[in-house]
Chain A
Amino acid sequence: MVVNLLADAEAEVDRIFQALADATRRDIVRRVIGREQNVTDLADRYAMSFAAVQKHVAVLQRSGLVAKRRRGREQLVGPVLDAIDRARTLLDEYEALWRGRIDRMDAILGEAEGSEAGR
Chain B
Amino acid sequence: MPVTDTRREADAFTVVAEFPAPVERVWELWSDPRKLERWWGPPGYPATFVRHDFTVPGRSIYYMTSPEGERTDYAAWRFLEIDAPHRLEIDNGFSDAEGEPAGELAWNRFSVRVEPLDGGSRMTMRAGFDSAEHLEQMVGLGMLEGFLAALAQTDPILAEG
A binds B: yes
Residues in A lying within 8 Å of B, measured CB to CB: 17, 20-21, 23, 26-27, 29-31, 33-35, 45, 79, 83, 86-87, 90-106, 108-110, 113-114, 117-119
Contact A108 B136 (CB under 8 A): no
Query: For chain B, what secondary structure do more than half of its interface residues adopt (helix, strand, loop), or is it mixed?
Result: mixed
Contact A99 B140 (CB under 8 A): no
Residues on B with C-beta less than 8 A from A29 are: 144
Residues on A with C-beta less than 8 A from B68 are: 23, 27
Of B13, B22, B144, the contact of A30 (CB 8 Å cutoff): B144
25 A-B pairs within 8 Å (CB atoms) are namely: A17-B151, A21-B157, A26-B158, A35-B103, A83-B132, A90-B135, A90-B138, A94-B13, A94-B127, A94-B135, A94-B142, A95-B6, A95-B146, A97-B143, A97-B145, A98-B15, A98-B125, A99-B15, A100-B145, A105-B29, A106-B17, A108-B35, A109-B26, A117-B119, A118-B20
Query: For chain A, what secondary structure do more than half of its interface residues adopt (helix, strand, loop), or is it mixed?
Result: helix
Which residue among B39, B127, B151 has the maximum number of chain A CB atoms within 10 Å of its CB? B39
Ordered nearest first, which 4 A-B pairs have the shortest CB separation?
Answer: A96-B146, A34-B140, A104-B39, A97-B142
Q: A99-B15, A105-B29, A117-B120 are in contact. Are A33 and B136 (CB under 8 A)?
A: yes
Residues on A with C-beta less than 8 A from B147 are: 93, 96
Assembled-state Cα–Cα distance A34/B135 (Å): 9
Which single residue of chain B is at the shortest CB-CB distance from A95? B6
Which residue among B21, B105, B138 has the maximum number of chain A CB atoms within 10 Å of its CB? B21
Q: B3-23 vs A: 1/0 string, CB under 8 Å? A: 100101000010101011110
